[in-house]
Structure 1
Amino acid sequence: MWRRISNGLDTVYTFAGYGAAVLLVFLCGLILYSVLARLLSLYLGGVNDLAGYVMATSTFMALSYTFRSNGHIRVGLIIQRFTGRARRGLEIACLAIMAAVVWFFACYMGRLVYFAYIFGERSEGADATPLWLPQTPVALGSALFAIAVTHSLIQALFDYDSINPETASGEVNEV
């Protein structure tokens, strides 16, 4: 049962990574439009703000996929010097600390969205976007990242061989 849940979560992370890639292509289109519009003396308010929102969303949506595919810089320089139980203990300690920090951040982002919605905060740009709209996908991305870190922590605790770089490929299951 754990393998099915793990594979399902890896599929969610993969789709989040694909979504982030699509958003990066959209970001390139927004930047290209902005440059061309400036050359042609056209104006569409809020394009620069929208580009910033898209960049933030793509960044946070990609975090979980990147983490699970071992794309983040980690404390491997220290951990790789150890083997066996010492290595597993260090991995668990690092993942536990990281999970606590990332969950704190995800909760903070959720709270930020909540208060932006309650108080009706708007951006200062020409479009006056309600801030909870661009903050929501960032909060979801950070929550997904927290789930991914917790997922790795649970694997380190109960199924270490699946994340051990000496025995596993470390790749996220592709869809």
Structure 2
Amino acid sequence: MSKKAQITVSQIIQAALSVAADKGAGKVTLDAVAKAAGVSKGGLIYHFPSKEALISAMVQHLLDEADCRREQQTQLEQSTLAALLQTRASFTRQIAGNTAMAILAAAAEQPALLKPVQQHNIAMLQQVQAEHQQSPQALLLFLASEALVFHDLLQISPFTEQERIDLEQLLVQQARELQA
């Protein structure tokens, strides 16, 4: 892929994420994304022939971004679990709201679009379990983090922002203690 095509693909994905965040799930259309990206609809369709292809690329982009951040955090942490929990908390807040809901809504129509997320979660869980010798406590920390994430994404959290931050910090602290 040429550098110009790579830039265009990135611009389109960013525009799609922006449309989702600004306008909500129902407004992520090929027309709206093309307009936001500053490309023709034909140019968008050249790279993403369907809304499903675009949503799939958005999901993959978010997974890649999360992996990159986790890998950076892993260099600062002794524990993969602590790095995962710390990264997950900040990244989820960044993409929370309409962006995540747009992806979830689109994926609800076609659950196969979430297959990469499931595979990512399985890989992360396997890595954490291997690092912690199948520790039930590590599994509980992982699941507690997942619960906080989904409460935020679905906007059903019973916690205040400060309570959630405190819980996330407690999870990271406990993950670090497991590693010690």
With the length of structure 1 as denominator, give the TM-score of the two structures: 0.30
| More contact order relative to length (CA 8 Å, sep ≥ 6) | 1
